[in-house]
Structure 1
Amino acid sequence: MFTIVFLLINNEYQTIESYDQIEFISVQDCGKKYHVNLLYSTRPKDRTQNYSVRINVYDQHSMEYHGSWNYPIIFPFLPVNRMAIILIIPVHQVIPICHALNCGSHGQCLKFVNSDEIFCKCNDGWSGKQCVTVSSSKFRCAPDSLTVGITNERPICVCPLNKFGSRCYLKRISCSDSMCQNRGTCIVRDERMPSLKPFCICMKGYSGTNCEVKDTKIDILLENLPIPSAILLHFITAHGDKPESRTTTFGKIPVDQSSTTVYISSMFHFIFVEFFDTLYFAHLQYTYTSGEIIRKTIKPSHRCPSIDELFDVTITKLHQLRRIKHYPIVCQQQKKLCFYDDSYICYCYNNDTPNCFIFNHNMTYNCHGYSYCQNGGRCYQNDIVCPTSSMCECTDCFYGSRCQFPSKGFGLSLDLVLGPHIRPNNHSLVVRISISIVLLLTILGFINGVLSILTFQTKKSRDSASGLYLFNSSITSILIIIIFSLKFWLLILSQKRIITNRSILFIQCLLIDFLLRISLNMESWLNACVSLERVIMIVKGVRFDNIKSKHISKWIVVILLLFNIITTIQDPISRHLVDDEEDQRTWCVVKYSSLLQIFNSSFYLFHFLTPFLINFMSALLIIIRLAQQRNISRSHQKFQKYFRKQLNTHKHLLVAPIVLVILSLPRLIISLLPGCMKSFREPWFFLFGYFVSFIPALVSFITFVLPSNVYKKEFLFAFRRLKQRLRGIS
């Protein structure tokens, strides 16, 4: 239910000459004519001024501003100006923001819906060209209403649903409880117009004056077909000698389902389903019965092909009257269920005679030119003439109820990959498998972290720079698994609306991914430092200075931490929460400017590729260094024997970089692949890439401790000492 306010505006001073307002309810008043008279404030009017009519629309349910239209008075010299306006109110808010006007602290610069002109939309209780005039304290609107302007020192008030009057202090008489059936909502119209009686807004699935009529319920299941985010349902009604009529509506398909349900209150005979620009036959009925439940499964065999597929070009290029003579062949010989051309859609009755109906294939799905879909998304409405709801079908690489979020770029977040599968009352297969993987990784991560810290907390294990790096790596791996688990469960709880506190959601959006990214980068760099330090030790041999190396390693850890923070700081400052009211979700979105996007992508790759290359080159150099020892023996057999001996001796130096390179390869491939996550229905590849990026941080004990005899002895020594302490306590 909307309140539509008509204002006669003096363009120079932005003062309101006069106003009027009406209540408009789309389900009942669509297409209705209204006559509104707006009078100039003086007699005669000031002919030196220019005037315009401004129309503001407000939602009475939420008491929110919905949009503004502006119509200039082209011939101000005339004593009377008549305007015939068709006002199309979009289903969703239309608030194009601008910054060209200085509207002060009590207004906002906006564009009109029907033009590129801009104006200052003042806050509640303020008015004027730059929103500097405050409403008089003597005359104020009721606290739960809106003050949308001032005329003749009196406020213009927009009342909530249950109030009326010039200042919204009068309460409306409530409806009788028995008026609206089937949980319908009773709405009382403006008491100033006795002809407008109370009426009912019905729940989905019911219609009629008192919501007493049960609508036809249609369940559509897609089998062995690609699943779209929405389907179009075309209802065709044959009227005998009169031209047939067509009604088109849409049905949403949740990301974890392959079916949708729609309701229709009007009569129909045929149902055709359309998605991915392909038509399918769904249902035929000879008689219409209200309240019927229709369940249909759409299969590939139900597809309606184009005549371009059925006939050669000599027939398709014929004039329509000559071409249509060949259509019975499709039904009788080719045994097709349905087909279409550029003007008709045809159904084969008993594989014999085609029944063809006029069908416009060139409909533009842009919600009457007021599409709120972004990034090329198509806007669908549930009714062509009088819509009450709408939705967006997004192109590849975009998501959200308005297609406002991209799904391409480096380092896809868990929010994007897993978030759409989490619903308050469902447990999809993707979510269940993800929970199992996270629990397994958490257990492995804690075991790995505890065992690694137990090993490298001894003084002897930290007697080298490698030991210091690995000690810091052990602490980092524990932090990674804690932050990772926290991230996952906060996402689950927030998307299931168990956690709704906005402060908690904002903090986790701002910090969790930032800390996780820094920790993963630090883990990669510390492991790379170990590989690099071991290569230097092999190359220098007896000339290697262990004390100097230990001293330098402490500074390197601090420098790496600061470098990671500086090159990742763009992440938290670019994050914010976005409320998707239509989808009833709160998304944590990171949006970079063009320069920050280049900076972010460059350093994302740098923090990943550089440690990867260091580990790869370290393994290669160690193998080359061992192979160079062949000069101690000229015999091929003796060289092979010596090489195997050296390889076995230095295997702990070689295992770590090779394992890290192998574990990093999947993440490298996913990061460098072009394109994006095109569909939420196929998240496995990107989910695998996200989870596998944590594995190198969870296997440091296996990678560094078990292959090394020194570290293995230190672990056993620390483990026995811990065991003795526990026995002493018990």
Structure 2
Amino acid sequence: MCRPQYDHYGQKPLCICSMNSYGPRCFIDRLCQMKIGRNPCQNGGICLTKYQHYNLIDAYICQCPKSYFGPICQYRSGVIEISYDDENQSVTLSGEQISATVIQLFDISDREELSIKKQILYKDSLPSHLIITSEIRNVVAKYHTLCDNTTSNSSPLLCFVDDDYFCLCDINNTAQCFLYNKKFDQCKQCLAEGQCIKGDIDTPSDYLCLCPRCHFGSKCQHNTELFSFSLVSLLSPDLLSSSLVKQKVSLSMYISVPAVLLIYGTISNFFSLVTFRQPRTRLNGAGHYFFTGTIFSQLSLFCLLSKILHIIINIRGLFIQPIINTVLCKILSFLLSLSSRICYWLIVFVTIERIYVTIYPTKRWLQKPKIAKTIITLITIFTCASHVHELVKYNIVDDPKYTANGKWCVTQLSRPLQIYNQTNTMIHYLTPFLVNLIFTIALMILITRTRANIDRNKSRWKIFQEQFKKKKEMFIPSMIHIISALPHLIISFSLACNDLDTKWQRYMLIISYFAAYVPQCLSFHLYVQPSKFFLREFHATKIWKMLAQSRTTIN
């Protein structure tokens, strides 16, 4: 079948050949024995001609049967038959012997012996050529009709692809197809199973990620699912703003806030550690919980500032050593999650111990230092084990869309691991919060009820006020942790899977995120000052005596 004016440049015809011929004008027989009068292929091989304009006679290839190979099928393939005798439970090998040369190095210094009794060399490879089946040929031949059938449509077909070909519809409604490697179009820039669309192959930043639900960012690196907001997703829009003034203001704010928390927290935590190093403060479990909680509070404040500095340095592409950058990405994220969540659990057990003492005033089992140390160890192991995936899955990814060296420290989680991470975060966040809330309320009710049974002349509200003032050290730590965590909890639930289109939503999340770290810098005011006993122990330390002496000297 000949269609004239196939190519409007060279005015060449287009020929669609029959099954037994091919070539520009269909003048070459597909089976070469029809042309030269004999079959050059041995052992039943099929001779197929190749189109070479300078040598039409000798241009051929042989399609060999399964048992033969070689240019003209002259070599017999090695065959090994394996027979299994079910009755005798034996295996028999038969066939031609295959010779192979094996060079192997033996270490004669070892005392071991290696005896190779039998060696079988197995080789499996793709055939040197493949013949397209008639079914596929028929489909490819019909590709011309796809271009021809689109002339009546309002949006004509311009191009299409299959597994092997890329086809263009020309002005004559004819498909011009050529082999195309799909690897050229592969784009692996997107995270979270986002669909990547590649633009200019020579431009690394020319790509577009179609993100799944609850993800956004140039690489779908930011997650807005419940309890999945990260510092980098909240801070990066301001740090990458097109306005230089906004960048500088945001940079100074995001560094100064955690810096103030760290400086004030260092002073407060230092005074707390000095207090709880006194032997008398650790005669019961609460002293051990406060002492350990103070250490982890200081660690969380340090990691918070370090994490923000790490984000800023990465976004600006200032890191030189990739190995150090990756290690910091993993370690800082892991320690920040670990330290802050251990603090939540320790306050829970302080509340549990105090409600235990209120119910059983004569018993001391839960107050024993040995029990407290065991609980602290178990909390640390449990929290570390449940966050190990952060050490593995936090990685540095390049993002050429912003700067040539810009990078993100983000997680690359599969869907099952995303579900686990979300569940794990909810357990470490919601469980301490709810237990703290319920037990603190229960503690208030128990103390008020116990006192009301003794003093029946006063109202319960009056008794509650009096008991709160007398035993405020039992309520203040738990209440402050609840109040600081509540805004972040409410906002996270409200804005889960939202696009954060308006700035106030993101800023509310940022404020609530920083507010959750306020108790970590107030350990002295929460643990020591409300308690007359702990405050008296602090006044007995050398630090307090030095401060009191210097204040007297100044006055």
Q: TM-score range by the shorter chain?
A: 0.5 to 0.7
Q: 2:392 aligns with which of 573, 576, 582?
A: 573
Please say if residues 187 and 197 of structure 2, whose CA atoms lie closer than 8 Å, have aligned partners that are also in contact: yes
1:155-177, Cα deviation, whole Å (9 max, x unpaired): xxxxxxxxxxxxxxxxxxxxxxx
1:580 to partner: Cα distance: 2.0
Q: 2:534 aligns with which of 698, 706, 711?
A: 711
Please say if residues 397 and 676 of structure 1, whose CA atoms lie closer than 8 Å, have aligned partners that are also in contact: yes
Distance 1:604 1:390 in 2: 35
Alignment of 1:422-501 (within 5 A): 422-423=239-240, 426=244, 427-501=247-321
1:395-434, Cα deviation, whole Å (9 max, x unpaired): 6743343546544342322122223433599434433321
Please say if residues 677 and 686 of structure 1, whose CA atoms lie closer than 8 Å, have aligned partners that are also in contact: no
Q: Determine the structure 2 residue equivalent to 1:625.
A: 446
Counterpart residue type for residue 544 of structure 2: R
Q: 1:551 aligns with which of 359, 370, 373?
A: 370
Does residue 597 in structure 1 map to residue 421 in structure 2? Answer: no
Q: Determine the structure 1 residue equivalent to 2:342.
A: 522
- Note the residue ranges of structure 2 that are not aligned, 5 or more in a row: 1-51, 65-129, 145-159, 166-184
Q: Determine the structure 2 residue equivalent to 1:399.
A: 216
Alignment of 1:79-98 (within 5 A): none
Does residue 418 in structure 1 map to residue 418 in structure 2? Answer: no
Q: Determine the structure 1 residue equivalent to 2:484.
A: 663
Does residue 613 in structure 1 map to residue 437 in structure 2? Answer: no
Alignment of 1:691-730 (within 5 A): 691-718=514-541, 719-723=543-547
Please say if residues 205 and 401 of structure 2, whose CA atoms lie closer than 8 Å, have aligned partners that are also in contact: no
Please say if residues 394 and 412 of structure 2, whose CA atoms lie closer than 8 Å, have aligned partners that are also in contact: yes
1:473 to partner: Cα distance: 0.8
1:612 to partner: Cα distance: 1.1
Q: Determine the structure 2 residue equivalent to 1:503.
A: 323
Distance 1:605 1:40 in 2: 75
Q: Determine the structure 1 residue equivalent to 2:10.
A: none
Q: Whose Rg is larger?
A: 2
**Could you say if the C-alpha distance between residues 592 and 494 of structure 1 is closer, same or farther in structure 2, counting changes exceeding 3 Å?**
closer
1:515 to partner: Cα distance: 1.1
Alignment of 1:113-512 (within 5 A): 114-116=161-163, 390=206, 392=208, 397-403=214-220, 406-423=223-240, 426=244, 427-512=247-332
1:723 to partner: Cα distance: 4.4
Distance 1:670 1:489 in 2: 25
Distance 1:38 1:404 in 2: 55
**Could you say if the C-alpha distance between residues 648 and 388 of structure 1 is closer, same or farther in structure 2, counting changes exceeding 3 Å?**
closer
Distance 1:506 1:41 in 2: 61
Distance 1:623 1:411 in 2: 34
Q: Determine the structure 2 residue equivalent to 1:532.
A: 352
1:470-509, Cα deviation, whole Å (9 max, x unpaired): 0111111111112222111122122222223101111012
1:38 to partner: Cα distance: 10
Partner secondary structure for residue 543 of structure 1? coil
1:90-127, Cα deviation, whole Å (9 max, x unpaired): xxxxxxxxxxxxxxxxxxxxxxx954469xxxxxxxxx
Q: Determine the structure 1 residue equivalent to 2:78.
A: none
Distance 2:550 2:535 in 1: 21
Please say if residues 377 and 402 of structure 1, whose CA atoms lie closer than 8 Å, have aligned partners that are also in contact: no
1:514 to partner: Cα distance: 0.7
Partner secondary structure for residue 524 of structure 1? helix
1:690 to partner: Cα distance: 2.5
Alignment of 1:67-86 (within 5 A): none
Structure number with greater CO (CA < 8 Å, separation at least 6) is 2
Please say if residues 420 and 680 of structure 1, whose CA atoms lie closer than 8 Å, have aligned partners that are also in contact: no
Distance 1:73 1:40 in 2: 23
- Count the aligned residue pairs: 386
Partner secondary structure for residue 396 of structure 2? strand
**Could you say if the C-alpha distance between residues 378 and 411 of structure 1 is closer, same or farther in structure 2, counting changes exceeding 3 Å?**
closer
1:671-701, Cα deviation, whole Å (9 max, x unpaired): 4335335247733133223322322222222
1:139-165, Cα deviation, whole Å (9 max, x unpaired): xxxxxxxxxxxxxxxxxxxxxxxxxxx
1:586 to partner: Cα distance: 1.6
**Could you say if the C-alpha distance between residues 42 and 453 of structure 1 is closer, same or farther in structure 2, counting changes exceeding 3 Å?**
farther
Counterpart residue type for residue 392 of structure 2: I
Please say if residues 448 and 699 of structure 1, whose CA atoms lie closer than 8 Å, have aligned partners that are also in contact: yes
Partner secondary structure for residue 410 of structure 2? strand
Please say if residues 198 and 208 of structure 2, whose CA atoms lie closer than 8 Å, have aligned partners that are also in contact: yes
Distance 1:40 1:524 in 2: 83
**Could you say if the C-alpha distance between residues 598 and 423 of structure 1 is closer, same or farther in structure 2, counting changes exceeding 3 Å?**
closer
Partner secondary structure for residue 280 of structure 2? coil
Give the TM-score of the pair, scaled to structure 1: 0.47
Counterpart residue type for residue 311 of structure 2: L
Counterpart residue type for residue 342 of structure 2: M
Partner secondary structure for residue 541 of structure 1? coil
Distance 1:388 1:414 in 2: 26
Please say if residues 194 and 209 of structure 2, whose CA atoms lie closer than 8 Å, have aligned partners that are also in contact: no
**Could you say if the C-alpha distance between residues 72 and 580 of structure 1 is closer, same or farther in structure 2, counting changes exceeding 3 Å?**
farther
Partner secondary structure for residue 430 of structure 1? helix
1:517 to partner: Cα distance: 0.6
- Note the residue ranges of structure 1 that are not aligned, 5 or more in a row: 1-36, 50-70, 86-112, 119-368
Q: Could you say which structure has the higher helix fraction?
A: 2
1:236-269, Cα deviation, whole Å (9 max, x unpaired): xxxxxxxxxxxxxxxxxxxxxxxxxxxxxxxxxx
1:439 to partner: Cα distance: 2.0
